[in-house]
Structure 1
Amino acid sequence: MIRSLSLLPGVLGMLLFVGVALAAPWIAPYAADQIVGGPWEFASARFPLGTDNLGRDLFSRLVWGTRVSLGVTLLATLLAFILGTLLGFIAGYCRGWVDQLISRLNDMLMAIPTLILALVVLALLPKTLPVIILVLGVLESTRVLRVARSLAVDIAAQEYIEVARLRGERIGWILWREMLPNALTTLIAEFALRFIFILLFLSALSFLGLGIQPPTADWGGLARDNKDGILFGVWAALIPGAAIALLALCLNSVADTLLGRRGRRWQE
């Protein structure tokens, strides 16, 4: 009962962010790149959150930035999970040289600091949305692969997997119909956690100038554009940070609840 109550605020918060992203054209009073006032104006009836360093409505840019940040993060997280789960399940199920090859290549990628590797790659490639999604997805798939492999090793030792082998089922059928449903709860919880890590990663890249490029609005770019305002008592740079923190709390509450339910089921 307590866990169900803790899940509700997280789900409602996630729905709020998703609703803002989907309804951005109707919620935002101005275009993301439209200059409508003076630089760093304070909050008013016309500008609920004030203006940014160029005189653009901060509320409108935050709304549009929510759509861009969540959209890019979602696509990158889906790519990371498709790639990481597939390779992790194959490694955990097949074992032997297949497991060694996949795991050692994965360890090589994880040995390189993720931020440094992303900075090097994005400095060489065009910083378009597909490239950013591909880089984030591939780099974060290494973490997903480890989780998926660990789950696959445990599940592959179960009797129903051996029965499926004896029936002559193909590896694709076993991975999709037998292993994935039994690992789904943990993977969903990991998806929630990995989503916020990728969002933070994307925001960090944008803050450093190698993520979403201007004039497209995203949360990391909003913090970068307005960071100098803190010196003058303007807190515009902290607003996207607050949005990231709130979304992280919502996602973590959902992930913790899912993991707690899985733990109770295993104990039973």
Structure 2
Amino acid sequence: MSRSLSLPRFGLRMSATGILASLVILFWAGVAIVGPRFAPYAPGDIVDFDFYGPISDQLWLGSDYLGRDIFSRIILGARYTVGISFASVCMACFTGVAAGMSAAAIGGWFDTILSRILDALNSIPSKLFGLVMVAAIGSSIPVLIVLLAVIYTPGSYRFARALAVNCNTMDFVTVARARGEKTPYLILHEILPNIIGPVLADLGMRFVFIVLLLSGLSFLGLGVQPPDADWGSLVKENIGGLSFAAPAVIAPCIAIASLTISVNLLIDNLPIKIRDRAS
């Protein structure tokens, strides 16, 4: 029998797998926030005159194609990968959820027009849209954050609207509307508390999608630009040395995999129970 951590007061029950996944996520979050202060070398310093140098006491993961410390660059890359992805997913989910609940509560022409516009945007392949926009506008941190948020807002909108439409038909919403409550009250006090659990799970999934898309754009040379680098950029820079300097490529791949898999496992093992107000 697997052990689990229960917090009945908050409606949480976390398994050992969920605890392990949350520790990995907290580790990378901590690395992104304070890691660069403790990196052995500055990310741009050339510390090895032998490019693709081996693992040593001074270079824990070897050096890259210019002789820079891979370990230090992975630490700095966490700030870009985690930071950009987190900012984008928060922007996308806040916009999408707010628009979805508003469309469900207001209905009518507002719901129809907003849904058609976002459906049209959602029909464009995400990677193709990202490539075209970055090639047209140029790549920078603010552009990447806004672009990734725009790409994933329609999906968040559709998910939140589907939940809100079902919640909008419940008796407690009908009663609140009958007693004269306004739309903002219905959204904030009646609909949102009853869809917050699935919305948080959806936020975690979209965070994974954004990490993978950002890494893909960086691997194609359209993400974070030199001298800065996220984990996808590190793979692109050192892919030529895979046959004789594997850590330079494998280490950032492991970082991406550990973060995305941990977020998925945490979502699967952290059900958030929202009290059914209709009962």
TM-score range, shorter chain: over 0.9
1:36 to 34, 47, 61: 47
- SS for the counterpart of 1:36 is coil
In structure 2, how many angstroms separate the alpha carbons of the residues matched to 1:254 and 1:230?
32
Look up the equivalent residue of 1:9 and give its one-letter code: L
Alignment match, 2:260: 248
Q: How does 1:1-268 map to 2 (within 5 A)?
A: 2=4, 3-37=14-48, 38-258=50-270, 260-262=271-273
1:207 Cα deviation from its structure 2 partner: 0.7
| 1:214-242 superposed Cα distances (whole Å, 9 cap, x missing partner) | 11021010000001111335341121111
Look up the equivalent residue of 2:31 and give its one-letter code: V
Look up the equivalent residue of 1:217 and give its one-letter code: A
1:264 Cα deviation from its structure 2 partner: 11
TM-score normalised by length of structure 2 = 0.90
In structure 1, how many angstroms separate the alpha carbons of the residues matched to 2:233 and 2:146?
19
1:139 Cα deviation from its structure 2 partner: 0.7
Q: Alignment RMSD, CA only?
A: 1.9
Question: Which structure has more helix as a fraction of its residues?
Answer: 1
Same amino acid, percent of matched pairs:
38
- SS for the counterpart of 1:141 is helix
Q: Which runs of 5+ in 2 are unaligned?
A: 5-13
Q: Which runs of 5+ in 1 are unaligned?
A: none
- SS for the counterpart of 1:23 is helix
56-65 or 83-92: which moved more?
83-92
248-257 or 229-238: which moved more?
229-238
Look up the equivalent residue of 1:219 and give its one-letter code: W
| 1:168-222 superposed Cα distances (whole Å, 9 cap, x missing partner) | 2221122122211111111111111111110111111111111110110210100
42-51 or 243-252: which moved more?
243-252
1:36 Cα deviation from its structure 2 partner: 0.8
TM-score normalised by length of structure 1 = 0.93
Cα distance change, pair 118–100 in 1 and its aligned pair in 2 (3 A)? same
The answer (yes or no) to whether the contact 2:194–2:274 under 8 Å persists in 1 is no
1:56 Cα deviation from its structure 2 partner: 0.5
In structure 1, how many angstroms separate the alpha carbons of the residues matched to 2:200 and 2:275?
16
The answer (yes or no) to whether the contact 1:189–1:254 under 8 Å persists in 2 is no
In structure 2, how many angstroms separate the alpha carbons of the residues matched to 1:115 and 1:147?
20
- SS for the counterpart of 1:231 is coil
| 1:123-154 superposed Cα distances (whole Å, 9 cap, x missing partner) | 11131111110000011111111110111011
- SS for the counterpart of 1:236 is helix
In structure 2, how many angstroms separate the alpha carbons of the residues matched to 1:264 and 1:10?
26
In structure 2, how many angstroms separate the alpha carbons of the residues matched to 1:234 and 1:242?
12
In structure 1, how many angstroms separate the alpha carbons of the residues matched to 2:251 and 2:274?
36
Aligned residues, how many?
266
